[in-house]
């Protein structure tokens, strides 16, 4: 293209030369002048071509930078995992998780005529409906706020703030004051629908206070100072104070988990007119009848001592407790009441075992849930339970029970529990229609439970 442009320019220039069209004859001088003029024109054309090439030249392409691969160590601003409900965590230490549980009970108590009347028989109830949240805050803090909405009322359960970055932690709020193994085990994971009779009889409940916990290796130490339950503290005259502590040794020897513990408790109602009452239901919460009951007693202070033992070896577990509760009275004998139990259990499905964590039994997790084509986990438990409320001139009654229960966990967060119990009552608070205070009773229960 460049040579075509040169020829065109030369032809145009020649045609434009003076006298070219009429050059019929040419002298030597004229021919020399024409050659010189053509040479000058050619030089001008070459100069123009050089400028044109420079003006139209394309710059060499600059190679695009290769994309920087994403860093494999970079953490997202937040992440969501699933533990029965969504748990949100951030890289800087925040976390937030809704939590809750629902327990629906069908239960019956069969006693001789006159003992329970219309308050026995087959009944249903929402045993617990918990809703709440828990999580962590940067700097070593953790929190939980939870309430029970069952039976058309709202009752605070665990409400606390904890601080701890190592084996030692401090908690302020409402928690359980380090009672027995059966009580410190969540009601989601207990062997039977209801806990040991002494836990109910001696008023084990959550209380507001300040506590500390040390967990190092196989040792767990818990202690605190408490007031009363949050609902009871709404009464301005309630000035009760208690000191509670528990020591747990929980070594693991190969595949075997051991649990040995002791607890001590002291409580002062700080009220000269304080009254106490010690009683227990017949292993069914659907009735408010207590077959053993001391009635109201004046209480100056209370002391309790508990001992605990448990073992988990493969699918087998065994547990036992004893608890002595002394009531110091004003101007009367000081009775010491006793309660305890002995229990054995076996997980029937291969590869499954009873859970254990931080001084209490934990979740039964099926290795082959129904969502993976399995049958879930099955566990059978048997217990002898004893409660004696006769001492120091007080005749509250003696209750013995033989319990057997079956637990089915189709998946981690659903649990079906069935119980049967045979009770023997001596010196019952409630007499039969014939006036008999020594008799037997039967109790049955079925619970459907879901938690998240």
Q: Is residue 181 over pLDDT 60? A: yes
Q: For all residues of the chain together, what is the average pLDDT?
A: 90
Give the pLDDT of residue 52: 63
What distance, in Å, lies between the first and last C-alpha atoms of the chain? Answer: 81
Structural domains of the chain ordered from first start = 87-451 (2.40.160.10)
Q: Is residue 20 over pLDDT 50? A: no
Mapped onto helix, strand or coil, the DSSP state of residue 34 is helix
pLDDT tier at 13, thresholds 50, 70, 90: very low
- Using an 8 Å Cβ cutoff, are 114 and 289 in contact? no
CA-based radius of gyration for the chain: 43
Give the pLDDT of residue 35: 76
pLDDT tier at 420, thresholds 50, 70, 90: very high
Classify residue 269 as left (phi > 0), alpha (psi -120 to 50) or beta.
Answer: alpha
Give the pLDDT of residue 15: 45
Secondary structure E strands in 188-287: 207-216, 219-226, 241-249, 252-253, 256-268, 275-280
pLDDT tens figures, 351-389: 999 999 999 999 999 999 999 999 999 999 999 999 999
Q: Is residue 178 over pLDDT 60? A: yes
pLDDT tens figures, 319-336: 999 999 999 999 899 999
pLDDT tier at 5, thresholds 50, 70, 90: very low
Which pTM was predicted? 0.82
* Token reading at 308: 């605990």
pLDDT tens figures, 113-172: 999 988 889 999 999 999 999 999 999 999 999 999 998 889 999 999 999 999 999 999
More confident residue, 105 or 75: 105
pLDDT tens figures, 182-209: 999 999 999 999 999 999 999 999 999 9
Q: Is residue 234 over pLDDT 50? A: yes
Report which of 289, 322, 306 is spatially closest to residue 441, judged by C-alpha positions.
289
Give the pLDDT of residue 22: 44
Give the pLDDT of residue 64: 59
Give the pLDDT of residue 146: 98
């Amino acid at each position: 293209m460049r040579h075509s442009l040169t020829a065109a320019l030369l032809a145009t220039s020649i045609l434009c030369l003076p006298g070219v069209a009429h050059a019929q004859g040419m002298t030597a001088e004229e021919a020399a002048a024409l050659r010189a003029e053509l040479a000058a024109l050619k030089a001008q054309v070459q100069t123009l071509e050089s400028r044109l090439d420079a003006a139209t030249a394309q710059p060499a392409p600059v190679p695009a930078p290769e994309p920087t691969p994403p860093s494999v160590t970079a953490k997202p601003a937040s992440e969501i995992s699933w533990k029965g409900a969504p748990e949100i965590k951030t890289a800087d230490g925040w976390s937030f998780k809704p939590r809750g549980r629902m327990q629906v009970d069908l239960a019956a108590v069969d006693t001789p005529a006159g003992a329970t009347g219309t308050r026995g028989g087959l009944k249903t109830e929402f045993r617990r409906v918990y809703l709440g949240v828990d999580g962590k805050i940067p700097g070593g803090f953790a929190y939980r706020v939870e309430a029970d909405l069952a039976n058309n009322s709202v009752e605070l359960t665990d409400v606390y703030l904890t601080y701890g970055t190592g084996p030692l932690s401090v908690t302020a709020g409402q928690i359980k004051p380090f009672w027995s193994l059966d009580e410190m085990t969540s009601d989601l994971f207990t062997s039977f629908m209801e806990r040991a009779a002494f836990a109910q009889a001696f008023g084990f409940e959550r209380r507001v206070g300040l506590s500390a916990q040390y967990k190092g290796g196989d040792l767990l130490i818990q202690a605190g100072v408490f007031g009363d339950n949050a609902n009871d503290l709404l009464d301005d005259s309630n000035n009760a104070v208690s000191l509670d502590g528990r020591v747990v040794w929980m070594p693991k020897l190969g595949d075997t988990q051991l649990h040995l513990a002791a607890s001590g408790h002291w409580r002062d109602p700080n009220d000269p007119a304080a009254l106490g009452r010690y009683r227990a239901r017949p292993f069914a919460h659907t009735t408010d009848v207590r077959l053993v009951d001391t009635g109201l007693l004046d209480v100056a202070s209370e002391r309790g001592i508990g001992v605990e033992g448990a073992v988990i070896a493969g699918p087998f577990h065994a547990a036992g407790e004893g608890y002595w509760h002394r009531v110091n009275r004003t101007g009367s004998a000081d009775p010491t009441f006793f309660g305890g139990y002995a229990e054995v259990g076996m997980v029937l499905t291969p590869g499954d075992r009873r859970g254990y964590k931080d001084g209490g039994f934990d979740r039964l997790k099926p290795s082959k849930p129904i969502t993976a084509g399995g049958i879930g986990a099955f566990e059978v438990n048997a217990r002898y339970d004893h409660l004696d409320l006769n001492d120091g001139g007080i005749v509250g009654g003696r209750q013995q029970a033989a319990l057997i229960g079956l637990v089915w966990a189709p998946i981690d967060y659903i649990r079906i529990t069935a119980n049967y119990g045979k009770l023997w009552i001596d010196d019952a608070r409630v007499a039969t229609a014939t006036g008999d205070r020594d008799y037997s009773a039967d109790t049955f229960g079925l619970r459907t439970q879901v938690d998240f």
